[in-house]
Each structure stands twice: as C-alpha cells, then as structure tokens.
Amino acid sequence: MTFNTFPSAQWALRLFLFLVLVSGCDSAERKARHEPLLPAETFNWSQVPVSFQPPPPTWERQKHNQGGLLGIWFTHRGSVGERIYISEYLKVGRRHEQRGYEGPYTLDDVVEETRFSTEGWPIHPDSFVIAPMVPDSVAGREAYRLDFTLNMPDKTLVGREYYVLENDHLFEAAFLGLPANMPLFERVVETIIFPAGESP
C-alpha cells in the first residue's frame, strides 16, 4: 500500500493563504511598533495645551469636533476606518467659567461624563464587548483606561480609550482599529505631555 505524502492542492492553498495572512499581520504589527512618529506638536484647543507626537503621515489628520469633544482625529489611509484621536471634553473644562464653580475636580468626579458608550453608534449594542474601566497613567497623571471589542460580520476591531484630567480639563485619547495597530496608538499616548505643567 502506498500513501500520498503530498498535501492536496486545496490544503496547500489554504496553508499558503494562512501563512500570507499571518505574515501580513506580523508585518503590520512590526510597522506599528517601529515606524517613526512625527515630531511633537503642541495643540491649544482651550486653556490647557497638550503636546504629543502624531502618528506617521499615512494617518490623515482632521479636526475632531463632535460629542462634546474638541481635538484632532487621525484616520489610517486605505484602512477599514481605523482612527486615533486626542481631544478635550469641553463641558468639563468650561465649568470654571460658570457661576457656582465647585472645583478643583478629581478624575473620579468627571470621568463618567465622557466614558465610552454604545449610544449613538449605528451598530447594535450586542456587537460590543466592553471591559471594565481600570486605573492607568498618562503623562505622569492618574488616568483610566477602557478597552472594548467591536465584532462585525466581516471583521473584528479593538478599541481603547484613556481619560486623564489636567488642571480641571478632561482629555481623552482613543483608538479604534485592527489589533496590529494598537502598539502605534500606545506609542503616541506615551509621548503626551502637558507643557504648562510638565510630566513629573
């Protein structure tokens, strides 16, 4: 009796496609970990400037002004709509201008106001898996981090949001995209500083 020691053409094709996919993901993640960021820029959306190194030029920038957030949005060119944004939640920052201001605030006082929610998304809430918010740090300040997964029929995206308070101004740094590009977002977050009160 003889045995065919060669895989079938169909099995070989599947193996080839799998290896291409794995190689592509590995290449994308390697690029996300090592591609140079742009030089640091300082943004003055309000009374508290924030500085960070933007992602590479393949991430196109535009003004972010929705949901009470004002800042900058970077969309990955040619992607599935991956985005990075760093913005300020204006409602909190403008309270000190109002009569009856009761600051200074702590992060715990205000973080729930901008915390991630599925409201307003044109996607069924059951498509999201949201992890508990956990303590973290940004620019040497206390922060919270929230991770979530968005399961769509043709792909799975991951999201991460950081919330940090600086001088009664609530900032949010967020990512939504493919898992391979999460390291790039983390590298951008690591460059955040508040120039008016440098990181300790």
pLDDT digit string (tens) for the chain, length 200 residues: 444 444 455 554 454 444 444 444 467 777 778 799 999 999 998 889 999 999 999 999 999 898 889 999 999 998 888 999 999 999 998 887 777 787 788 999 999 988 998 888 888 889 999 999 999 999 999 999 999 999 988 889 999 999 999 999 999 999 999 999 999 999 999 999 999 766 44
85/63 Cα distance (integer angstroms)? 9
CB distance 85 to 72 below 8 Å: yes
Please report the pLDDT score of residue 78 as a whole number.
Answer: 87
Q: Look at residues 110, 101, 97, 108 and name the one whose alpha carbon lies nearest to residue 142.
A: 108
CB distance 162 to 89 below 8 Å: no
- For 184, phi then psi, to 5°, come to -65, -45
Hey, what CATH class is 9-197 in? alpha beta
37/32 Cα distance (integer angstroms)? 10
Distance of CA 156 to the CA centre of its chain: 15
Provide the token pair at 57.
Answer: 């030029």
DSSP H helix total and E strand total for the chain: 4, 10
3-state SS, residue 50: strand
Q: Where are the domains of the chain?
A: 9-197
174-to-16, 94, 107, 196 alpha-carbon distances in Å: 35, 22, 17, 22
- For 85-105, letters b (16+ CB in 10 Å) and e give bbbbbbebbebeeeeeeeeeb
Dihedral sign of CA atoms 159, 143, 104, 193 in order: negative
61/76 Cα distance (integer angstroms)? 9
Q: Which residues contact 91 (CB under 8 A, 6 or more apart)?
A: 68, 113
191/123 Cα distance (integer angstroms)? 32
